[in-house]
Amino acid sequence: MSEIKSRSLGHFKDPIGKICVSPDGKHALVSSDQKLYIMNYVEKRTPVEIRSIFGCTDIFAYSPDGSHIVTAVSDEFNMILVELDDSRRKTKKQKPIDLLSGTITALAYSPNGKYIAASNNENEIGIWDIDAHDQVGDVCNEHKDTITSVSFSADSKYIASVSIDNTCIIWDFQTKEKLFTFSNTNFTSFAMSPDGKALAFGGDRKSVNLMTFNSLTKLDGNNLHILNRDPYYAKCLTFSPNGKLLAFAGDKDLIYIVKTESQELYKVIPTRNIHSFGFTKDSKSLITARSDEARIWYLELNDAEFLLDTVKKTKVKPYDILSMTFKTPSLNEKKTYDMVFQLDNSSITISLDNLKNVVTNPSNIKYPCKSHVPYTALNIRKNDFFNEPYLSIRTMGFTRDGLIHVDNIKQAINRYNTYYARGGGNPSTSNTKTPRKKRCPNRSTRDKKTGKCVDKSTKQVVDSVTKTKTMTITKTNNNGKNSVTKIAFSPIEYKRNFDHALVFSLEERSKIVKRVVSKQVLTLGNVVSADHCQSDLNYQVYAIKEISNKKKRNHSKGKRTRSLTANMNKKSLGRTKRNRDRSI
C-alpha cells in the first residue's frame, strides 16, 4: 500500500471540537473554544473567524451548495442560519431558527437544501422549512434517551435518528410514520451514504458495520457486512461524497478507508487522537482534526500537484539536488535550465522570459492597502496603499497563493543572469577559464590527443557516466584484516548526473498582508474583477533564498561537504563564507 502524503492546515490555540468540509471544494468549517473558523484548504491562508456568532457549539452543518451554515448556539435562539458571501469566507446575513427549546444535540441539512432537522436534550426531533421559515408538522419524541445523530435520506423525504437508548429509527418526517426500528445495538457512530443505499455504524462488540440495500423504504436485498476483523471502537465514520469510500476512526491510532462496493481495504492512515474528519468534494482527500491541528491527507498522490517534488532536502546535504520525482529540469532552447522555485513540498519551473512577462503584467502586482480604506472603496488614491509592490506566487505556477516582494524577484533574475553569464549552468557557455574536466572511470585514463577516456586494457573509449563503477581502496591493519579507507566518487550511483539548474526556496516571513489593490486598478482606474481592497485575503509573504550550488562546512571533520552535481569542481557560489550564507 503506497504512502499517503499530507500537509498541515494550521494549528489552533484552543482544542478543535469538530471539522466539517464544505461542498464548494475549497473550505472547511472548524469549531474551537465556542468559535467558528472558516479554513481554505486549497490555499495556505489564515483561518477566518466568524465574529458575528457567539456561543457556538460543536454542532453545525453546511448547506448542499456551501452557501449557508446552520449552527447550534447557547443563546435565546438555540440555532442560527448563516448566509455566506461569494468568497465563502465572510458572513452576509444571519437568521435565528425558532424550532426547539432546550439544548441542541444534533442537526442535519437536507440534500435538496430545503429543510433542517434538529434534536434537543428533551429527546425531541423537529424539522424546519427554510423557505417558509416555519416548523414542519409536530415534533417526533419516540426516543427514550439523548439523540446523538440525525440524517436525511438521499431524496430528502426520510430521517434516520440514533439515540443512546440503543435504537435507530427511520421515519417519514412529513407524516411522522416510522418505517423501521433497529434496536439492541450500541450505536457509537452512524452515517448514511449520499446515494441512500447504505448505512454504516459502529456497534456492539466493537464492530464496524456496513448495511447495503436497494431501497431505504423497504430495505429489500439488504446485506450486513462487518468491516473490521479485530475489535474496533468506531467513534466517528463518514462516507465520501461519491459514496464509493467509507472512513472510520476510533480507539486505535489508525484511520481505515474501505471501498463500499467490494468492502476491500483501500487506505490506512496512521495518526493519533482523531475525533472528526470529512472527505473533500472530489472524494480524493480526507481532512482530519485532532486536539490542536487540522491536516489534509491526499489519497491519490497524482492529484496533489504541489507534492510533485523536484528538489528534496536532507539533513546531511541540505543544499544538494539528490533526486527528481515525477519531473526533471531539462535544457531549454538556449542550452540552459529554467528557474526552479520550491515552496515546502511543491516546486515549479519557469523560464526567464515567462517570469519577466509575469512581473511586467500590472494585474499580477499587488500593493498592501492601508487600514483606513473602506471595504466598499472603488477609487483608490495614493495615500490609500503602501508603495511596496508584491507579486502573486499563483501567477508563477504555484497552486496556493501568497506574495513575494518584486525586488526579491528582480534579484533572483539578476542572480540567474549572472550565473549563466559565468557558465555556471552550462560549461559550453562559460566565458571564464576552461573548467576542469570530469574524472575518467576506474581502470581508464584520458587520451591526451582526443581528450576522451580510454580503457587501459582494451584501449576502447569509455562512457564517463554509464561505465563508471565504484572503486574501494583498502589497506591491511596490524591485525592482518582489510579495512575500507576510501570509496571513490562514482556519478552512476546517483539518480541524476547533470549540470544543475539554479534552485530558489520560498521561505515564510512573519508578515501577513490582509487586503491588496492591483496595479491594474492604480493605472487604469476602476477595473472589474480586480482587487480594490474589498476583501480580507490574508496573503502570506515569502522571501526568496537560493538553496542550490552551495557547499556546507562539515565542522566535525573540518572539511567541506562536496556537492553531488557534475559541475561541483567549478569556482562558483560557495567558495566564500559571504556567498555561502547569501540570501536574496
CB contact at 8 A, 454 and 463: no
pLDDT band at 82 (very low <50, low <70, confident <90, very high): very high
- In the 8-state DSSP scheme, what is residue 159? E
Top pLDDT among 191 and 504 is at 191
Question: How far apart (Å, rounded) are the C-alpha atoms in residues 269 and 47?
Answer: 25
Collapsed DSSP state (helix, strand, coil) of residue 48: strand
Answer yes or no: is pLDDT of 306 > 50: no
pLDDT reported for residue 163? 93
pLDDT band at 548 (very low <50, low <70, confident <90, very high): low
pLDDT reported for residue 207? 84
Q: What percent of the chain has pLDDT over 70?
A: 75
Q: How far apart are the two ends of the chain, measured CA to CA in Å?
A: 41
What is this structure's pTM?
0.56
**Cell matching residue 209:** 458495520
Q: Which of 48, 57, 59 is nearest to 26 (CA)?
A: 48
Question: How far apart (Å, rounded) are the C-alpha atoms in residues 143 and 151?
Answer: 15
Mean pLDDT across 220-243: 84
Hey, CA dihedral for 262, 267, 273, 276, is it positive or negative?
negative
Collapsed DSSP state (helix, strand, coil) of residue 545: strand
- Spell out the residues 6+ positions from residue 125 whose beta carbon is closer than 8 angstroms to its own: 117, 118, 119, 139, 140, 141, 143, 147, 150, 159, 161
- Spell out the residues 6+ positions from residue 472 whose beta carbon is closer than 8 angstroms to its own: 484, 486, 487, 488
Q: What is the DSSP string of 473-535?
A: EEEE-TTS-EEEEEE---GGGSS--S-PPPEEEEEEEEEEE--EEEHHHHHHSS-TTS-BS-S
Burial class (CB in 10 A: 0-12, 13-18, 19+), 98: middle
Answer yes or no: is pLDDT of 497 > 60: no
pLDDT band at 482 (very low <50, low <70, confident <90, very high): low
How many residues does this entry show for the chain? Answer: 584
pLDDT reported for residue 380? 87
Each domain of the chain, given as residue ranges in start order, spans 339-425+500-580
Mean pLDDT across 55-73: 91
Mean pLDDT across 434-451: 70
- Spell out the residues 6+ positions from residue 397 whose beta carbon is closer than 8 angstroms to its own: 348, 349, 350
Top pLDDT among 42 and 321 is at 42
Answer yes or no: is pLDDT of 366 > 90: yes
pLDDT reported for residue 305? 43
pLDDT reported for residue 42? 82
pLDDT reported for residue 560? 40
CB contact at 8 A, 396 and 372: no
- Give 356-367 as a 3 state SS string: HHHHHCHHHEEE
pLDDT band at 584 (very low <50, low <70, confident <90, very high): very low
Top pLDDT among 139 and 550 is at 139
CB contact at 8 A, 30 and 36: yes
Mean pLDDT across 142-151: 92
**Cell matching residue 493:** 550511483
Mean pLDDT across 500-513: 81
CB contact at 8 A, 506 and 306: no
pLDDT reported for residue 457? 82
Question: How far apart (Å, rounded) are the C-alpha atoms in residues 329 and 313?
Answer: 17
Mean pLDDT across 362-366: 90
pLDDT band at 140 (very low <50, low <70, confident <90, very high): confident
Give residue for cell 487522537. 273
Question: How far apart (Å, rounded) are the C-alpha atoms in residues 265 and 83?
Answer: 39
Question: How far apart (Å, rounded) are the C-alpha atoms in residues 571 and 579?
Answer: 12
Mean pLDDT across 280-289: 92
Answer yes or no: is pLDDT of 484 > 80: no
Answer yes or no: is pLDDT of 317 > 80: no
Tens digit of pLDDT for each residue in 9-35?
888 888 899 999 999 888 999 998 888
Answer yes or no: is pLDDT of 178 > 90: no
Top pLDDT among 306 and 347 is at 347
Average pLDDT, the chain: 77
In angstroms, how far is CA 11 from the centroid of its own chain? 14
The segment with the largest mean pLDDT, out of 113-127, 391-405, 551-565, is 113-127
- Residue 68: count other Cβ atoms within 10 Å of its Cβ: 20
